[in-house]
Amino acid sequence: MTSKNKGHPRTFSFEFFPPKTPEGREKLRATRQQLAQLKPKFFSVTFGAGGSTRDHTLDTVVEIQSEGFDAAPHLSCIGSTQDNIRAILNEYKSHGIRHIVALRGDLPSGMADPGAFRYANELIEFIRAETGDYFQLEVAAYPEYHPQARSAKDDLLNFKRKVEAGANAAITQYFFNADAYFNFVDECTAMGIDIPIVPGIMPITNYVQLARFSDACGSEIPRWIRKKLEGYGDDLPSIRAFGLDVITNLCDRLLQNGASGLHFYTLNQAGPTSTVWQRLGL
């Protein structure tokens, strides 16, 4: 199965989480210097549940921007007010940041009120109403469907609403089954959705962590991959070697069949992403 994301230039990008300690900031600077040599289109920086890392996100994107790179902060709206989001948008504008990853986000545990925005399309509509076309807006897409979606069709309609509200491009949740991505892109094309849908790529370096992430976000680890990883136990070199093979093959198949780029969830490490990149000959 193949899917051509027709007419869209390929975009390569790397995602970080905002460090909370001086050591973490130093480590991320070193990671960024290494990955910057690969000349990505942009670096994105995540935003904690309910905006819990808002200041760390701002500090990180301002630093990236000051180094001459395009920085795209994540902005999640759940638990926020319009004034709160407006203030963040104005802050980003004042720093010359023109690129945002607009997300619903997760309601922090213990918080009952979702705030002024229940869904990402409402956030996108608000950003467009407030700032026009100032921001390039990326949104999330789910090739294996959002874990809270009532049905596959519902999830596609939710995605379409985000695109109609003004999204410029999408980054997918990570996945290990290329056919899920190709099928999703074909379904979007059939619905008249014509924005780049860039595959999100999660390097495999730690099976326990990966299993925890995947259970939480609904990304399926195929049984054969899960069984191989379980079989390695605590043998980290074998997990990493196998993980590199799996991810390189996945990326190669995606690019060979027309995916519009790759977005790497780096977990603030340069090594695994750089190795995959070199193996792909990018």
Task: Cite the DSSP H helix spans in the chain.
Answer: 22-36, 54-66, 82-94, 120-131, 152-165, 178-190, 207-217, 223-232, 236-256, 271-280
Active-site entry in 15, 23, 164, 187: 15
Report d(CA 261, CA 253) in Å as an integer: 12
Q: Are 209 and 239 in contact (CB under 8 A)?
A: no
Which one, of 109, 120, 103, 126, lies nearest residue 200 by Cα? 103
Which one, of 282, 261, 204, 202, lies nearest residue 42 by Cα? 261
Phi then psi for 154, rounded to 5 degrees? -55, -45
Which one, of 83, 157, 152, lies nearest residue 117 by Cα? 83
DSSP state letters, 65-97: HHTT--EEEEEE-TTB-HHHHHHHHHHHHHTT-
Q: Residue 151: enclosing H or E segment and its boundaries?
A: none
Is residue 130 flagged as an active site residue? no
Q: Are 270 and 34 in contact (CB under 8 A)?
A: yes
Distances (CA, A) of 97 to 61, 62, 72: 8, 8, 7
Report d(CA 195, CA 185) in Å as an integer: 10
Q: Are 100 and 130 in contact (CB under 8 A)?
A: no
DSSP-assigned letter for residue 140? E
User: Annotated catalytic sites, by residue?
Assistant: 15
